[in-house]
Structure 1
Amino acid sequence: MAGQGLRTGLTLLLVALLAGCSIGDVRRRPPDRTTASPRPPQTGPPQSGPPSHQEGVEVRHVRLTAGRRYDPPMIEFVTAERGFAQFSGCAAASTTERSCPALLYSTVDGGRTWRPLRHPHPDAANPQLYAVPGTLALFVDPRDWYTSTDGGVTFAHSLGDRAPAAWRAAQGRFQLDEATGRAVRWQGRRMTPLPVQPPVPDLHGLVEARGLLVAAGLDGGKPYAAISPDGGRSWQRTALPAPALGALQPMVGPDGEVRLVGWPPDRTGFPTLWRYLDRWIPLPAEGHPARALSVVPLTTGRFAVSGPAGVGVVADGRYDRLDWPLGPEHYLSLLDDGTVVGRAPAEVLLASGPVGGRHWVRVVLEAT
């Protein structure tokens, strides 16, 4: 839902949205490394000042005392208040990567202050940070996973090409198993296939909302959605009128309403959108730009769309520009608490509230 460069940049975020998956298989074959790492050096208390405001955006700029200048961190928020950050490299001009152990921090006040955590493997190459509500996961080359369910206080270590069960189970009760493509249900840390599989050959996503399971996918490029009112024991399939698509992703809006986002085969054109109100209702977007990068559902059937033309909203059959402090490079995502996240390579912005009155916060974190 999170998870940055985060996720080694923005690419994995886009892939996860389009493909409807979580982290997925990580197939890398360097030598194994399982020994415990020493505790990272103490960084001292965070040094921060009062929030400032720029162009209507509250800026929460925090400088951490680390003894060396680190590259910008990976930052993952799971709610508007709770998040995690990982520094994993230093500026090449000042030091070498080996002398910059990874540093891990958490915040519970929306990035105003940050608390240091013990990184379980600070000297590893290419550490990656992922977070969803209740679960934090770190992946380091070649096949090491560290998973925490207590906010990063303790970590469980595991090895594997796939994410551990604790992380996969945290993605939601109903998911697609990335190894088989089948629809499954998680109970605790046990995964079982649904009694009846959705009648769509190429499943792209599965969500649960308002007592319904909604599966979406393609059949030779033609979009289909299937709905189950009984936990996957029976399904009703519906063909969706649309041109051939490259991806079809079900989403749940902050109001609990199910939506569909259909991306064209090149994955860069403007998407086709639907909302579900006892039937699938297509949403026209008159005046929309030709290209789009990301889409998030808003309340009352609306969507926010980012792309080269900036950010706009699809509502009442039209596309209109939004006066949000985001540029063409910002990738949009939606947290479980309804917070909109705008992410670019050098910054993270958070916004809560109604479409026309959102309070924007820019989170800036440095370690020097």
Structure 2
Amino acid sequence: MIGRILRPVFALLLVPVLASCSAIGDVRRDPPARTAAPSPPPATVPAPPPSAGFDEVRAVRVAVAQRYDDPYLEFSDAAHGWALFAGCDGRPPDRSCPALLFSTLDGGRSWLQVRHPRPVADNQQLYTAPGLVVLGAEPHGWYASTNGGASFVRTAEVPAEWRAAQGRFQVIEATGRVGEWDGRRSRPLAAQPPVPGLDTVASSDDLLVAAGMADDRPYAAVSTDRGRSWQPTPVPAPDGAVSTLRVRVAPDGDVWLVGERPDRMDFPALWRYLGRWLPVPAESCPSRILSVAPVGAGRVAVTGPSGVGVVIDGRYTPVAWPLGPNHYLSLLGDGTLVARAPDETVLAVGPVGTRRWIRVVLVGE
């Protein structure tokens, strides 16, 4: 289920906050052209010179009263994003302060206002996936658009389009079995993975991976025929307690297991799949973290109270990225790294080692 806060719970798209330094990584996908026809694009504020390590600052001023709170920004790839102004002076929208919705097709260089289907409601929510935007507006329900906001379809339950965006293979919440999405719903696979306590499933090319925890032990199985048959794959015991396993896929197809600790801010256990599960140590790692994400080339990026670092070759190394301890990392399907903080959104585009850091700013007049 989607969460009840104004932050998306991307079953794939978000990397969980995650303990001991042992053995880890996230993903998404190319939306159609948008046809929303709202007000003319606002003028772009001249971007200041890159600062604090940013290669570019995309700062845009839109026709929104200053009393509005900062917007929530969500991207589905490096170009396509949405922004929701969801309240004024810390209070939910009302008739004098209706929720305002904007979209961008160029990575935040310009924004178009889109008609919000239910601008006065409690607990406004925003979620996006390629070719899809979903709005929550309590108590009225959910509103989904697949045409760039030109029209919305209301549903009482989480929209099927959002469930479909979570991947072809999913753990069916009601049964705890692996299902395959058929366009309308997930149907249980005839062959189920031999994984006690199944928590998670994800795919990378022709490899499908399922994992879970039972009796304080990690379990995993893989399939190379899209779930028609499964092979158990032993997972070496972690250093310390693990409560939940997550399968994460890096942009280059690397598959990782993330072992969340009972205290999810403790450094996780990490394993990498190279024909078998190999524990990945993280010497010199911080004890506390906020987020972790695979970034390719066998590397895992970490943010937290100690700053930003990368696990590579079994060692944690601080890096001079323009991010702070409050940035939460996730990965989009096109390989874009997103870092969200309470007051900003940063996109990192390009291959590992040569990423460009872009700060996206959207402010009212």
Give TM-score, length-normalised by structure 1: 0.86
Q: State the 1:309 CA deviation.
A: 0.6
2:43 to 10, 26, 47: 47
1:262 maps to which residue?
259
2:228 maps to which residue?
233
In structure 2, the residue corresponding to 1:197 is in which secondary structure? coil
1:84 maps to which residue?
82
2:188 to 193, 197, 202: 193
Q: Are positions 1:220 and 2:211 aligned together?
A: no
Q: Compare 171-180 and 205-214 and name the one that shifted more.
A: 171-180
- CA distance in 2 between counterparts of 1:312 and 1:92 reads 33
1:28 maps to which residue?
none
Q: 1:177 to 1:143 in 2, by over 3 A?
A: farther
In structure 1, the residue corresponding to 2:296 is in which secondary structure? coil
Q: State the 1:13 CA deviation.
A: 8.9
Q: State the 1:353 CA deviation.
A: 2.3
Which amino acid in structure 2 is aligned with residue 189 of structure 1? R
2:346 to 349, 357, 360: 349
Q: 1:166 to 1:195 in 2, by over 3 A?
A: same
1:316 maps to which residue?
313
Which amino acid in structure 1 is aligned with residue 88 of structure 2? C
**Residues 306-348 of structure 1 deviation map (CA, whole Å, 9 limit, x = unaligned):** 1111110011111100111111111110111111111111111
Is this contact kept in 2: 1:106–1:117, CA < 8 A? yes
Is this contact kept in 2: 1:7–1:13, CA < 8 A? no
**Residues 87-140 of structure 1 deviation map (CA, whole Å, 9 limit, x = unaligned):** 1111269x9844111111100111010011111111122210000112111111
* Superposed counterparts of 1:98-113, under 5 Å: 98-113=95-110
Q: 1:203 to 1:8 in 2, by over 3 A?
A: same
Q: State the 1:143 CA deviation.
A: 5.0
RMSD of aligned C-alpha atoms?
2.6
1:34 maps to which residue?
none
- CA distance in 1 between counterparts of 2:245 and 2:97 reads 41
Which amino acid in structure 2 is aligned with residue 76 of structure 1? E
2:199 to 201, 204, 222: 204
2:58 maps to which residue?
60
- CA distance in 2 between counterparts of 1:19 and 1:313 reads 16
- Name stretches of at least 5 consecutive residues in structure 2 with no aligned partner: 19-37
- CA distance in 2 between counterparts of 1:265 and 1:250 reads 17
1:289 maps to which residue?
286
Q: 1:278 to 1:312 in 2, by over 3 A?
A: same
Is this contact kept in 1: 2:281–2:315, CA < 8 A? yes
1:130 to 109, 127, 131: 127
Q: State the 1:11 CA deviation.
A: 8.7
Q: Compare 84-93 and 265-274 and name the one that shifted more.
A: 84-93
Q: 1:96 to 1:250 in 2, by over 3 A?
A: closer
- CA distance in 1 between counterparts of 2:244 and 2:255 reads 17
- CA distance in 2 between counterparts of 1:227 and 1:111 reads 39
1:248 maps to which residue?
245
- CA distance in 2 between counterparts of 1:127 and 1:76 reads 14
**Residues 57-95 of structure 1 deviation map (CA, whole Å, 9 limit, x = unaligned):** 1211111113453111111001111100111111269x9
Q: Are positions 1:116 and 2:113 aligned together?
A: yes
Is this contact kept in 1: 2:134–2:142, CA < 8 A? yes
In structure 1, the residue corresponding to 2:233 is in which secondary structure? strand
Q: State the 1:43 CA deviation.
A: 6.5
- CA distance in 2 between counterparts of 1:184 and 1:191 reads 5
In structure 2, the residue corresponding to 1:126 is in which secondary structure? strand
**Residues 25-57 of structure 1 deviation map (CA, whole Å, 9 limit, x = unaligned):** xxxxxxxxxxxxxxxxx8764121233221231
2:31 maps to which residue?
none
In structure 2, the residue corresponding to 1:357 is in which secondary structure? coil
In structure 2, the residue corresponding to 1:167 is in which secondary structure? helix
Q: Are positions 1:165 and 2:163 aligned together?
A: no
Is this contact kept in 1: 2:17–2:291, CA < 8 A? no
Give TM-score, length-normalised by structure 2: 0.87
Is this contact kept in 1: 2:340–2:346, CA < 8 A? yes
2:70 maps to which residue?
72
Q: State the 1:272 CA deviation.
A: 1.3
- Name stretches of at least 5 consecutive residues in structure 1 with no aligned partner: 21-41
